[in-house]
Amino acid sequence: MRDPDGLIARAGVRGDPDRDQHFLVDDRVLDRLPTYLTDCDPEKTTGTEADTTPTETTTAPETETAPDTETAPDTIDTSHLLEIGGGTGALTDRLLELGTETDRVTVVERDSELASFLRTEFSDEIDAGRLTVIEGDALEVDLPEFTASVSNLPYGVSSEITFRLLPEGRPLVLMFQQEFAERMVAEPGTSEYGRLSVSTQHYADAELVESIPKEAFSPPPAVQSAVVRLCPREPDYEVADEDFFLRFVKALFTQRRKTIRNAIRNTAHISGLDAPEAVVDAADEDLLQKRADAMAPAEFAALAELASDVGAPEGGDE
Ligand SMILES: C[S@@+](CC[C@H](N)C(=O)[O-])C[C@H]1O[C@@H](n2cnc3c(N)ncnc32)[C@H](O)[C@@H]1O
């Protein structure tokens, strides 16, 4: 296992906070990060059509069509791990150790000096086909088909990167600023609950698994960090138009202190609703009296479906 301080010394760099460079130097934290993947349910994390639930409820023949458990994986697929923001490679090294000799890691690093160092430091792994270094901006480069990601994200773009990864339906273990992590995992009725919570939990079960002190990084960031595990699954509600649902939630949370009735009326320019008044007329009175921060994701989904039916949403301005 490579020593994180040794990697920084060999790279001859100092992390630049202005470029989101805070390198992990605590071995115990580095060791723990990949292990958090294992608590996701592998059956739900295929990243493709995971839904094997029978849709016929009454006409299923009484033959040997038992639920297909034979093909269900019993461990998380780590055959191709993605790391966003490789830095000097301390986490990359752990991810390479996690897999077997046929497993692969792809690391994306924007800083050309660091990308070049990674290519030199890990030349054996690259030659063996076990590591690919993509030099570029994680928001712009083509990402490979990965099976899971473990990343200490650049905080300046952590939200954008996360919402690039979440729709892929893969298990993610990601490092964020503590306050951001708390908002991702927040429950309705708490002050942290908001658009970020609903959008995150639309894609995955989100759990804050560990807070990380500043001293675990070099240089230390200004605030404490936290690790969030995101286990993908289908939400327990249905939305026909995902873009509209997310836009509607965004709109209603811009007025979080107003009732849902007024929020629907005041935010049509964001949600794209043509007929907000028709939605207010059709919605349940109890719901209309709530505020956005008391609404469970399933309640937003039901309201979004109603709004789609009667409010004639247009394509919005994401
Ligand atoms: C918090 S550091 C983590 C480094 C390393 N993984 C570790 O844990 O020590 C984030 C890394 O992301 C890189 N980075 C910053 N913005 C990026 C972007 N838009 N795309 C890809 N990498 C980026 C930085 O250069 C830095 O190396």
Task: Write down the mean pLDDT value for the chain.
Answer: 90
Q: What average pLDDT does this structure show over 274-293? A: 95
> Letter for the amino acid at 188?
P
Q: Is 218 in the pocket of ligand 1 (CB under 6 A)?
A: no
274 to 266, 284, 316: CA distances (angstroms) = 12, 19, 11
Residue nearest to atom 16 of ligand 1 (CA): 154
Q: Is 111 in the pocket of ligand 1 (CB under 6 A)?
A: yes
Res 47: pLDDT: 66
Tokens at 49, concatenated: 């059509």
The residue whose CB lies within 8 Å of the most ligand 1 atoms, and thus the one to mutate among 84, 162, 177, is 84
- Answer left, alpha or beta for residue 245, where phi above 0 means left and psi between -120 and 50 means alpha: alpha
| Residue 152 marked ligand-binding | yes
Nearest atom within ligand 1 for CA of residue 24: 9
Tokens at 40, concatenated: 């996701």
DSSP codes joined into one string, 84-148: E--TTSHHHHHHHHHS-TT-EEEEEE--HHHHHHHHHHTHHHHHTTSEEEEES-TTTSPPP--SE
| Residue 137 marked ligand-binding | yes
Domains of the chain listed by start with CATH number: 4-41+77-232 (3.40.50.150), 242-311 (1.10.8)
* Residue 169 pLDDT class (50, 70, 90 cuts): very high
Which of 165-169, 302-306, 314-318 has the lowest average pLDDT?
Answer: 314-318
- The ipTM assigned to this model is 0.99
Which of 81-95, 99-113, 159-173 has the lowest average pLDDT?
Answer: 99-113
Res 275: pLDDT: 92
Res 32: pLDDT: 96
Residue 316 above 80 pLDDT? no
Q: Is 137 in the pocket of ligand 1 (CB under 6 A)?
A: yes
Tokens at 204, concatenated: 């995955």
Res 7: pLDDT: 98
Q: Is 25 in the pocket of ligand 1 (CB under 6 A)?
A: no
315 to 185, 212, 268, 271, 273: CA distances (angstroms) = 29, 41, 12, 9, 9
Residue 161 above 50 pLDDT? yes
Q: Is 24 in the pocket of ligand 1 (CB under 6 A)?
A: yes
Distance 318 CA to ligand 1 centre (A): 26
The rounded percent of the chain whose pLDDT value lies above 90 is 83
Q: Is 109 in the pocket of ligand 1 (CB under 6 A)?
A: yes
Q: What average pLDDT does this structure show over 252-264? A: 96
| Residue 103 marked ligand-binding | no
Residue 317 above 50 pLDDT? no
Q: What average pLDDT does this structure show over 111-130? A: 98
| Residue 24 marked ligand-binding | yes
Residue nearest to atom 14 of ligand 1 (CA): 85
| Residue 202 marked ligand-binding | no
Q: What average pLDDT does this structure show over 88-93? A: 98
Q: What average pLDDT does this structure show over 170-183? A: 98
Q: Is 19 in the pocket of ligand 1 (CB under 6 A)?
A: yes
The residue whose CB lies within 8 Å of the most ligand 1 atoms, and thus the one to mutate among 5, 8, 19, is 19
What is the spatial distance between Cα 54 and Cα 73, in angstroms, rounded to a whole number?
A: 19
Nearest atom within ligand 1 for CA of residue 4: 9
Res 39: pLDDT: 87
| Residue 85 marked ligand-binding | yes
The SS3 call for residue 47 is: coil
Asked whether the beta carbons of 153 and 162 are under 8 A apart, the reply is yes
Res 98: pLDDT: 87
Which of 20-24, 32-36, 189-193, 308-312 has the lowest average pLDDT?
Answer: 308-312
Res 26: pLDDT: 98
Which of 32-46, 139-153, 236-250, 297-311 has the lowest average pLDDT?
Answer: 32-46
